[in-house]
Chains A and B, each alone.
Chain A
């Protein structure tokens, strides 16, 4: 089975273009399964089920979705296998730019919305740097010159990734995306897999539900600003 992970901020167009790519994939006789990881709600993503393919949702609730994802990779892999899928696609809404959800054995796609301003790449961290493919959507809304500057800056951050422009409304670029997804390597198990990037630690009192802010409640790893 192949695994593809599509991560990126909310509403960057992950579902829209993946639906188009899945249609190309299904016509080739390949059986996909899809899991969506989100924090609180993933009702928008139910459209995957309309393709009549196995679809599951995982909600991380109070946890960082990336930490949650890391602890659920094996479970999702086994679930997809039990559904006799040839390809597992995991869509995840990476939230903080400090995290990256990718693992070494999966094909890693970072979804980016062109309309987030050409200054955005400076704020992107590991999720862009560890991706195999940078998926750029909504280019239909901004100027050619801005797209070129955006691309240039992303290339500086991750010179090795393939860049694919797509349009989630028309499906433009979805066939190329499907081709890349299908080039991913086949794996039998995730036993030897590792995260591409260390996740930040959640080790202070607030990670586990503390709400009082006085100094005596600061426990664990604390980093206070110096003025």
Chain B
């Protein structure tokens, strides 16, 4: 559990809340234009910032120092090892007893969020973007020590991003995700809105939004369906849209 006390935005105006409490097992989306203070917020959380920081936001944690995992679009595997070799080494650093079993679970979990199957003997550096991203996420989800997961725009990574959120919250992580994807933003339990370096809104997902997000989900499915069709060399015709409209209602 972490508590956030108000800081100041770039115009030196105080943020308008008293204390925000973030819980393990919940998903928080973070929206706002580039440069609105989203990355700084991640830094504040990672370093448990005090009133001396750039934003003067005070962040306190119930656990003495939370273990924060960070994943962004830019990160790659660099080590020349097979999936199995590396996941096993990582597991032994984490103090996992049965590293073989752990490794199998990580790979299985990773395969549940990527369309291109990962094998234990694959070289890490040869994995596709989507495979690498899903392995990174599965390894974080299976890390018993990590409490907080910060995700930086993972929407273009070629993974099932909705399953990712579910996987991480099921693993009882506190998940914060910076996103420009309206579906992800809406599906989170809570939503932060940033502007000019400060938090302007902290909203709980309403029941109405939960209901309406189904529509966005339909649009999302349709988009990925069109993507698949294009990849198969198919043409997209008007009747495709008409036909889908009928099934949607």
Q: Which residues of A contact B (CB under 8 A)?
A: 115, 117-119, 139-146, 148-149, 152-153, 170, 172-173, 175-176
Contacts and interface: CB of A to CB of B under 8 A. Distances in A.
6 contacts: A117-B78, A142-B78, A145-B87, A146-B78, A173-B47, A175-B47
Contacts of B70: 139, 144
Given A152-B93, A172-B43, A115 B78 contact: yes
Contacts of B140: 144-145
A145 B139 contact: yes
A146 B74 contact: no
Nearest to A179: B52
Interface in B85-140: 86-87, 89-90, 93-94, 132, 136, 139-140
B22 interface: no
Given A149-B89, A149-B93, A173-B47, A143 B54 contact: no
Nearest to B132: A143
Interface of B: 39, 43, 47, 52-54, 69-72, 74-80, 86-87, 89-90, 93-94, 132, 136, 139-140, 143
Contacts of B139: 143-145
Contacts of A176: 47
User: Which 9 A/B pairs are nearest by Cβ-Cβ distance?
Assistant: A152-B93, A144-B69, A145-B139, A145-B90, A143-B136, A172-B43, A142-B78, A118-B79, A143-B75
Given A118-B79, A172-B43, A173-B47, A141 B71 contact: no
Contacts of A119: 79
B62 to A, nearest CB: 21
B76 A149 contact: no
